[in-house]
């Protein structure tokens, strides 16, 4: 089992572009099924800058997560211009 606090310490990396996306700030859960739906990575790592920017947070669907390792979470995002 992995705690949310442990997930927020792992780098999130998009393997299709080799780009670090940031850290997990929140988790979306389907309460009816008891399953994780998505991870949320903030658009800007600084809380102060998030206040002033209109860029939306990145939502990574569970299906896009390829591997959760000790130090990193590997994801494969479509090139749909989200990041």
pLDDT tens digits, residue range 67-77?
A: 999 999 999 99
31 occurs within a structural domain:
yes
Average pLDDT estimate for 28-39: 94
CATH number, domain with residue 37: 2.30.30.240
12 vs 18: CA distance, rounded Å = 10
Within the chain, strands assigned E span 11-14, 19-23, 26-30, 35-41, 58-61, 65-68, 72-75
10 occurs within a structural domain:
yes
Q: Which domain holds residue 52?
A: 4-75
Instruction: Please give the pLDDT value at position 2.
Output: 77
Higher pLDDT, 51 or 11: 11
pLDDT, tens only, 9-29: 899 999 999 999 999 999 999
83 occurs within a structural domain:
no
81 occurs within a structural domain:
no
């Amino acid at each position: 089992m992995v705690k949310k606090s442990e997930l927020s310490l792992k780098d999130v990396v998009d393997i299709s572009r080799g780009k670090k996306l940031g850290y997990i700030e929140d988790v979306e859960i389907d309460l009816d099924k008891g399953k994780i739906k998505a991870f949320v990575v903030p658009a800007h790592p600084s809380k102060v800058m998030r206040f002033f920017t209109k860029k939306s947070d990145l939502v990574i669907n569970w299906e896009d997560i390829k591997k959760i390792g000790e130090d990193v979470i590997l994801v494969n995002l479509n090139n749909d211009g989200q990041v």
